[in-house]
Amino acid sequence: MLLRLGAGFLAGGIIGFERASRRQIAGLRTHVLIALGATLLMVLSISIAEAYFEDGDPGRIAAQVVSGIGFLGAGAIIRLGNNVKGLTTAASLWLVSGVGLAFGAGLWIPAAVATAVALFTLTALDSVEKRFFPPRRTKLLELHYKGEYPEHAKALAVLTAFSVGVQSLDVVQNLGRKGGSRMRLLVSIPERTDMPRLSEALRKTGDLDRLEIKEKY
């Protein structure tokens, strides 16, 4: 039992250390406690079934752990405007609970392999994901034109050239006494986008009066 608890502690520490190194909301101690607690509950479940019941079900407590860990995972997910953070950390919390249950049941090899694969996923695949699927931020882009008919085709071409995805487009004409128009776009912008270059390119598309980029809408 002590070996199983030690293995659960080590597995939670390995995954938690990686999360803490990235300054995630659930770090080293959280992952260690979840993995250790899951291991203890699995050991307890097996021991109670063997000691007090001839046909006891050692999986009853484990089933409650799997469902209960969802509450902790939900606490690691943060919504910032239109962006969601913490999904990977929530998944790692769910995983270390499973690893702890496996160690508690004495399934040494599956639990160790799961820990190694999880660490590989969080480290090696992170750079691969960022290269092929760069993180994006959803923002509201407003282009105010002096003229009544904005050059929306040219603006869309610039956004496409900068790999900016357009989710919605709305054009309003005859703004105020001086006329003019406004083009409002809900866009998905890669984090590595050079914003000054993008702004300069949009200003060259027509008689642009001003440009606004907002975090929320």
What is the pLDDT confidence band of residue 217, given thresholds at 50, 70 and 90?
very low
What is the pLDDT, as a whole number, of residue 195?
85
The whole-angstrom distance between residue 75's C-alpha and the CA centroid of its chain comes to 13
* Mean pLDDT in residue range 198-217: 79
Q: What tokens appear for 152 in the block? A: 């929306």
pLDDT, tens digit, 9 for 90 and up, residues 67-101: 788 777 777 777 655 566 778 888 888 889 999 98
β-strand partners of 140: 186, 214
Q: 108-164, pLDDT tens digit by residue?
A: 999 999 999 988 988 888 778 777 777 778 888 888 888 777 777 888 888 989 888
The mean pLDDT of the chain is 82
Burial class (CB in 10 A: 0-12, 13-18, 19+), 216: exposed
Identify the pLDDT of residue 128: 81
3-state secondary structure of 185: strand
What's the pLDDT at 50?
77
Within 10 A of 6 (CB to CB), how many other CB atoms are there?
Answer: 13
Vertex 164 angle, CA 161 and 165, to 5°? 120
pLDDT digits (tens, 9 = 90+) for 42-66: 988 888 777 777 677 777 777 888 7
Q: Is the pLDDT of residue 16 over 50?
A: yes
Phi, psi torsion values for 141, nearest 5 degrees: -110, 125
C-alpha separations of 99 from 14, 27, 136 in Å: 12, 17, 32
Question: What's the pLDDT score for residue 113?
Answer: 92
Bridge partner residues of 79 (DSSP): 84
Higher pLDDT, 11 or 49: 11
Cα–Cα distance, 53 to 1 (Å, whole number): 20
Task: State the fold for domain 136-214.
Answer: Alpha-Beta Plaits (3.30.70)
pLDDT, position 9: 92
User: Domain coordinates of the chain in residue numbers?
Assistant: 2-132, 136-214
Over residues 33-38, the mean pLDDT reads 89
